[in-house]
Copies of this chain bind each other. A is one copy, B any other.
Amino acid sequence: MQRIEHRACFGGWQHVYRHASRVLQCEMNFAVYLPPQAEHRSCPVLYWLSGLTCTEQNFITKVGAQRYAAEHGVIVVAPDTSPRGPGVADADGYDIGQGAGFYVNATQAPWASHYRMFDYVSQELPDLVEAQFPATKARAISGHSMGGHGALVLALKNPGRYRSVSAFSPIVAPTQVPWGEKAFTAYLGEDRDAWAAWDATALVATAQERLPLLIDQGEADEFLSSQLQPEKLRDACAASGHPLDLRLRAGYDHSYYFIASFIGEHIAHHAKALND
């Protein structure tokens, strides 16, 4: 593990590390914000999953989350959004291949050998973080757009692993919208029956753990009706009795300005669950 960035920020340190991922079979960057409290004690960890086209940089440079992480004593870990590198499969288009891992374990060639972001984010990365940093095993997860989908799916498929989950503008029903259909066809194959295991709206029907879902969604989001459709998750949660706090925000779009505006509320939500 090699430290490639190290910057003082809100009394703590914003780091970026590079390591050889066993699960993804490539070199990966991930960002770790250590709040000032981490100098004296172990702190709980919030995992942040970014959206299409992003790397580990977008969240740490554009959101201002460090302020709230420092306030609440929470470590924030932000991985890249897919395996990377010359030996890793890729394809034309911002919504498939590198930068678009969709937080699944791919089963289809040429993707299956590297595209295992689900295992990476839910297992390998926390194992590394908990071994190398002053981190407790109290974990929370959040993300934006494709990463909001990732956060919901990781929490729903790993009962007991996260204390809390939230999402901004998530792709709640990837099996029913173009972004998800394209990615799942490539990574998981033509058989749509295999897709439901990676779809939050499908997963809430049978979730073993009733972890409340906190979601913020901008009403001026340019992808609202085409790709996001939060009403699908709302209806599924209503049908199965799964707790959901879906907050529609008038005027807000899909950008990082939206995340920046409400990340403080999300981190306060996670900190409450993490510090309980």
| A10–B67 CA distance with the chains assembled, in angstroms | 15
Q: Top 9 closest A-B pairs, CB basis?
A: A64-B64, A8-B251, A9-B257, A8-B252, A7-B257, A10-B261, A61-B62, A9-B261, A7-B255
Distance in angstroms from A264 CB to nearest chain B CB is 8
The yes or no answer to A85 lying at the interface (CB within 8 A) is no
| A255–B7 CA distance with the chains assembled, in angstroms | 8
Q: Across the interface, do B218 and A8 meet the contact criterion of CB distance under 8 Å?
A: yes
Which B residues touch A253, using CB under 8 A? 7-8
Q: Which residue of B lies closest to A10 (CB)?
A: B261
Q: Across the interface, do B8 and A64 meet the contact criterion of CB distance under 8 Å?
A: no
The yes or no answer to A241 lying at the interface (CB within 8 A) is no
| A66–B253 CA distance with the chains assembled, in angstroms | 16
Given the interface contacts A64-B64, A67-B64, does A8 sit within 8 Å of B220 by beta carbon?
yes
| A150–B11 CA distance with the chains assembled, in angstroms | 28
Q: Which residue of B lies closest to A218 (CB)?
A: B8
Distance in angstroms from A136 CB to nearest chain B CB is 25
Q: Across the interface, do A260 and B220 meet the contact criterion of CB distance under 8 Å?
A: no
Query: Which residues of chain A in 247-264 are interfacial with respect to chain B, using CB atoms and an 8 Å cutoff?
Result: 249-253, 255-258, 260-261, 264
Q: Across the interface, do A8 and B261 meet the contact criterion of CB distance under 8 Å?
A: yes
A-B contact pairs, 23 of them (CB 8 A): A7-B253, A7-B255, A7-B257, A7-B258, A8-B218, A8-B220, A8-B252, A8-B261, A9-B257, A9-B258, A9-B260, A9-B261, A10-B260, A10-B261, A11-B261, A14-B257, A61-B61, A61-B62, A62-B62, A64-B67, A64-B260, A67-B261, A67-B264
Q: Which residue of B lies closest to A253 (CB)?
A: B7
Q: Which residue of B lies closest to A255 (CB)?
A: B7
Which B residues touch A256, using CB under 8 A? 61
Distance in angstroms from A53 CB to nearest chain B CB is 15
Which B residues touch A14, using CB under 8 A? 257
Q: Which residue of B lies closest to A8 (CB)?
A: B251
Q: Which residue of B lies closest to A13 (CB)?
A: B251
Query: Which residues of chain A in 1-31 are interfacial with respect to chain B, using CB atoms and an 8 Å cutoff?
Result: 7-11, 14
Which B residues touch A250, using CB under 8 A? 8
| A260–B10 CA distance with the chains assembled, in angstroms | 8
| A218–B8 CA distance with the chains assembled, in angstroms | 9
Per-position 1/0 for A108-126, Cβ under 8 A of B? 0000000000000000000
| A62–B257 CA distance with the chains assembled, in angstroms | 10
